[in-house]
Structures are given as structure tokens and as C-alpha cells.
Amino acid sequence: MAKIDLARRAEIGREKRVRTRVQIVDAGLLLLADQPPEALTVNAIVESAGVAKGTFYYHFQSVEELVAAVGAKLADTFDELVARSRLEQSDSIERMAFAFTRFLEKAISDPVWARLVVRSAQAPAGIREHLKADLAEAIAEGRLATEDVELAADIVVGIWTQVARGTLERRATPDLPHQALQAALRALGVPRTQGRHAAAARAGRNKSQIGSK
């Protein structure tokens, strides 16, 4: 019986440490949404998280390590938004269109997330690699006006970032994701008919996802 109690006690301790770490990371996320990493201090973090300094240093060796953890969490949210959909879509432009609008919808519904992404001024490395892979496929198929995949990625990320920043300054209209997607597709030189098809396919998947909830 004593062994069972000790095992359970150890499990409770692990669960508490996990919750505390999440609490500290979430506090860092909120702070980084409003200030650059170099302005972040341990005092501000522990005050926001409601923990002691010793607790912070138990989980993180430095502020930089916490910033990296926040970045990893941000990357995870990108993956969660589109990971399953990538397996279901065979068309490169439709994959890009889906990710673009899903990320913008997230920015509209979650201003803290949007501020953090906009402040970071770049997409997580893994997401940019997925984007470049889709764009490279579209370029190989002769579907884009540019043959420079880095330039194409900069166009997509740049438009998304500027539109997301705009949602923090003014109320987003219901059709903003659609309008922004159309602007990105035009900037890439996607033929109008293909652009309409990608947008229509995206809208159809969105309705089916809502209906399945």
C-alpha cells in the first residue's frame, strides 16, 4: 500500500511541475505579445505567472530559454491548425490557401496570438518550410508568375503579417480572410480561375468542418 501511495505522490508531483511550467510559459507568451524578448525580465515573468524566482529557475536556466519555449509553443499552434489538412489536400495552391486563411482566422479570433506572431515578424521555421514546399511545387507546375520560391514565400508571409497587424488596429470584416487570400494569390500571379477554385475549395472545407463539430 505504501508503495502505491509513494508512486501516486510522485505522479502528483510530476503533474504539478508540468502545470507550473505551462503557467510560466503562458505568462511569457502574454508578456512577449506586448514587448520584445530583450525587454523581458525574470521579475516580470514570475509576477505574471504568480510563482517564485526559484520556481522559475527550476524550470528555465534563463529568460532566453523561456523565450525559446514560447517560440516552440507558437510553432505547435501553427502545426495544430493545419497538420491534418495537409494530409487531405493534394493540390499545392489549395494547401497554401488553406493554411493562409486558417492562420488569419486564428489571428482574428485570438488577438494575443496575433500580436505575438506579428511581433516575431516571421513564421516558425517549420511552417515556412511547408509553405516553400507548396510554392516550389506550384512553381514546378508553372502556376506562379515568379520562379523564386524565397520571394514567393516572402510575398505570402508579408501579406499575411500586414493583414494580421491590421486586425489588431481595426475590426476585421467577415470576408477579410477571403479578400486577403485573393490578394496573396494575385500577388503570386495565380491565374484568376485557379484562385477562385482554391478559395471555393477552402470555403467548402470550412463548412464541412463546422458541420462535423
Q: What mean pLDDT, rounded, does the chain reach?
A: 87
Residues 185-207: tens digit of each pLDDT: 999 999 876 655 666 655 555 54
CB contact at 8 A, 179 and 150: no
All cell numbers assigned to 46: 514570475
Q: pTM, whole model, 2 decimals?
A: 0.77
Same domain? For 184 and 151 the reply is: yes
Q: Identify whether 80 is part of a domain.
A: no
Residues 102-129: tens digit of each pLDDT: 999 999 999 999 999 888 766 677 788 8
Average pLDDT over residues 153-162: 95
**Which structural domain, as residue segments, surrounds residue 64?**
2-68
Q: CB within 8 A of 9, min separation 6: which ones?
A: none
Structure letter (DSSP) for residue 172: P
Residues 45-100: tens digit of each pLDDT: 999 999 999 999 999 999 999 999 998 898 888 888 887 777 778 899 999 999 99
Return contacts of 19-28, CB within 8 angstroms, 24+ apart: 20/51, 20/55, 20/59, 21/59, 23/49, 23/50, 23/51, 24/49, 24/51, 24/55, 24/56, 24/59, 24/60, 24/66, 25/66, 25/69, 25/70, 25/73, 28/66, 28/67, 28/69, 28/70
Alpha-carbon distance of 46 to 58, in angstroms, equals: 12
Model pLDDT, residue 188 = 96
Which residue in the block uniquely carries the three cell numbers 497538420?
83
Q: How many domains does the chain have?
A: 2
Same domain? For 134 and 174 the reply is: yes
Alpha-carbon distance of 117 to 130, in angstroms, equals: 17
Q: Identify whether 84 is part of a domain.
A: no
Q: Identify whether 86 is part of a domain.
A: no
| CATH code of 44's domain | 1.10.357.10
